[in-house]
Amino acid sequence: MTVAVPTPSISPGLVVRHIPGPLRLADFGLIAFDMDSTLITIECIDEIADAVGKKAEVAAITEATMRGEIKDFKESLRRRVALLEGVPVGALQEVYDQRLRLSPGAPELVGACREAGLKVLLVSGGFTFFADRVKARLGIDFARSNLLEEDGGRLTGRVRAQDWGDICDGAEKRRTLLEVASLLRLSPAQTIAVGDGANDLPMMGEAGLSVAFHAKPKVREQAMVAIDEGGLDRLLEVVRP
């Protein structure tokens, strides 16, 4: 599909802006995905909070953060994780088994990217417990996310620092995208970034192609491609395999 328009080009549920098409996956070398509400259908922290009856309280902070109303993602995450103190570690496995579902089109898009020779990065403000499992499930090459601290089989309500830092926020997502691209000897223009929330905007702003998936209004407005209806594989209507 050839598109070169200064204003949105709209088909049902798909908005395309400022793309000097036609584009092919082979034009790129790396695709980076957010996880919660992008590669998967849930916000994991909200579902963990449900185990202690605090889902509404945590979800309200999550929503305000994703809309960009709470600007400091690190402080937002610390506030939400603190509410998880005392949750049994086993609750994470229950969330994974019973509630976590891949977003429609996720396996198809990741598979098409891998077949075209792209490396795949999962970079998330969520948690390693889920990111590692989604990484293995989809055959993703790289993943970075936050590590929940536990003690005696229960969450402490804190995030544990890792060798790259403490919390994967928007700035860390951007840095990770650029770091992996550099390791692969790619320019930022050869990367695709896919997300749904305000903390995805820094990496989306660096990528050669930015994609909003069922995203918050602020993110949809700034993305080059907005998938508002259907699955992630709708990107293949814009960027051909």
Catalytic center residues: 34, 36
* Cis bond upstream, residue 22 (ω within 30): yes
Q: For the purposes of burial, counting CB atoms within 10 Å of the CB of 15, is it exposed (0-12), middle (13-18) or buried (19 or more)?
A: middle
Most distant CA pair in the chain, distance: 57
Among the listed residues 15, 157, 17, the one whose alpha carbon sits nearest the alpha carbon of residue 87: 157
Q: Provide the token pair at 148.
A: 């929940």
In this structure, are residues 231 and 213 in contact, taking their beta carbons and an 8 Å threshold? no
Which SS3 state, helix, strand or coil, does residue 156 take?
strand
99 phi and psi angles, rounded to 5 deg: -125, -25
